Chain A
């Protein structure tokens, strides 16, 4: 067992440090708390060779995750494919393109399995027996599944109007699922009250500092799979903005630990036009994020008042990245483009990422001759409503060759 190098929880605003405990706000200034580490303790001991010798899951980077003992939840999660996307690259007119494919992340087909593995393992260390979350869909499924496998009670809170696939994809695990009449921001508001009153481990409320660290493994894997190298450009979908900030943190940590060279990676954020408070702040270069009321088919990204929006904006500004947003039609077109060029069926959030990447490339913001990674974070089978009318229906014929010959002839197929 390796010794934890976690130093404390630290306020991102005033710098006050707190002992490791299930809390997420600074008592002084109400700023968000973040896990900080004593990286010096790893000096020379945390090497490429050591990491490569470990099983292929997200815990191969465990020294940089905020748990003390062995992971008790999601011990096999993570380590998804990084795909060289030649056909999508040709379609977008770029030279070197990769897809980090968390649409096949185990066990619930989104990157949320990473954050939940860390959050629930930490919750168990803290002694909680009931876990909960406020979710735009994917998190609910992941909390429900991972809690079930670990024998924890769970309550998941979602907006009432989510896709069937997301609702079923949580309910099947025997969780207590609560639909709230309202938007995600209403769900979140209720959950911060429930968290205070019921004393549960709310993964994205009182356990948030630990939960959020799990996203770093998405970044670590990209760098390891690129051959211990950071890409020049990364496009990240944003809801609360947390993943965006943690990919940046993962790169900075690997540089600090000497695992990679600094490649001046620029980080770009992707949102849906119907819910784009962060991309709007980036494009208008305003510091404060104006809350919005979401209206988009990308329901997993529909957070109108993003908790990490301010920090995500800073990451994009400081790394030389940018942000863009795409409307519902562009999202569907991008989902189809990815599916038809790479055989990857992503959900609406992935459509947002691909659509925004296309836009940024066309605008010249992302150059065509440098390495680009697109963050595909969720699976298309969960958001079928979004594309059901855009996909060709099967042509129904009788089971005889004559009928098929007629059809093939109409398609211009030569025998």
Chain B
């Protein structure tokens, strides 16, 4: 499954290598499309590609790191 999400970082976690950690901990291909850091806040558009349960687990982990995860779209099929 491919899942497109927006990640919102806050002052506490904005300097952490969270997307690197995500790639190390889960069998997921991460693909950053845009990123913006401003006024103590970070916004990243990220695509997560992997098995459905792994993607869901990865999103829960991101939320446990206080990253706000906003899904944009999910594609079950390639497209």
Residues of A within 8 A of B (CB): 13, 24-25, 28-31, 185, 189, 192-193, 195-197, 205-206, 286-288, 290-291, 305
User: In the complex the two chains form, is A25's CB within 8 Å of B34's CB?
Assistant: no
State in angstroms the CA–CA spacing of A193 and B6 once bound together: 14
User: In the complex the two chains form, is B39's CB within 8 Å of A288's CB?
Assistant: yes
Q: When A287-B39, A291-B8 are in contact, do A30 and B76 touch as well, CB less than 8 Å? A: no
User: In the complex the two chains form, is B72's CB within 8 Å of A192's CB?
Assistant: yes
Could you mark each residue 50-79 of chain B with 1 if its beta carbon is under 8 Å from any beta carbon of chain A, else 0? 000000000000000000101111111000
User: In the complex the two chains form, is A196's CB within 8 Å of B8's CB?
Assistant: no
User: In the complex the two chains form, is A30's CB within 8 Å of B74's CB?
Assistant: no
User: In the complex the two chains form, is B39's CB within 8 Å of A25's CB?
Assistant: no
Q: A25-B73, A30-B45 provided; 12 other pairs, C-beta below 8 A?
A: A13-B34, A24-B73, A25-B4, A30-B34, A30-B47, A30-B72, A189-B70, A197-B76, A206-B73, A287-B39, A288-B41, A305-B70
State in angstroms the CA–CA spacing of A196 and B73 once bound together: 7
Q: Which residues of A contact B45 (CB under 8 A)?
A: 29-30
Cβ of B38 within 8 Å of any chain A Cβ, yes or no, is yes
State in angstroms the CA–CA spacing of A195 and B4 once bound together: 13
User: In the complex the two chains form, is A192's CB within 8 Å of B39's CB?
Assistant: no
Q: When A197-B76, A288-B41, A288-B43 are in contact, do A189 and B8 touch as well, CB less than 8 Å? A: no
Could you mark each residue 33-46 of chain B with 1 if its beta carbon is under 8 Å from any beta carbon of chain A, else 0? 11010110101010
Majority secondary structure, B binding face: strand
State in angstroms the CA–CA spacing of A344 and B74 once bound together: 43
Majority secondary structure, A binding face: loop
B4 in complex: contacting residue of A30, A286, A291, CB < 8 Å: A30
Q: When A28-B33, A29-B34 are in contact, do A291 and B74 touch as well, CB less than 8 Å? A: no
Q: Which residues of A contact B76 (CB under 8 A)?
A: 196-197
User: In the complex the two chains form, is A192's CB within 8 Å of B33's CB?
Assistant: no
Q: Which residues of B contact A205 (CB under 8 A)?
A: 73
Q: Which residues of B contact A196 (CB under 8 A)?
A: 73-76
User: In the complex the two chains form, is B38's CB within 8 Å of A288's CB?
Assistant: yes
Which residue in chain A gives the minimum CB-CB distance to B59? A189
Q: Which residues of A contact B34 (CB under 8 A)?
A: 13, 29-31
State in angstroms the CA–CA spacing of A197 and B74 once bound together: 8
Cβ of B71 to closest chain A Cβ, rounded Å = 4
Q: Which residues of B contact A305 (CB under 8 A)?
A: 68, 70
State in angstroms the CA–CA spacing of A305 and B29 once bound together: 26
Q: Which residues of B contact A291 (CB under 8 A)?
A: 8, 68, 70
Cβ of B67 to closest chain A Cβ, rounded Å = 11
Q: Which residues of B contact A28 (CB under 8 A)?
A: 33
User: In the complex the two chains form, is B73's CB within 8 Å of A192's CB?
Assistant: yes
Q: Which residues of B contact A185 (CB under 8 A)?
A: 70
State in angstroms the CA–CA spacing of A290 and B45 once bound together: 16
User: In the complex the two chains form, is A192's CB within 8 Å of B74's CB?
Assistant: yes
Cβ of A173 to closest chain B Cβ, rounded Å = 28
Q: Which residues of B contact A189 (CB under 8 A)?
A: 70-71
Cβ of A200 to closest chain B Cβ, rounded Å = 13
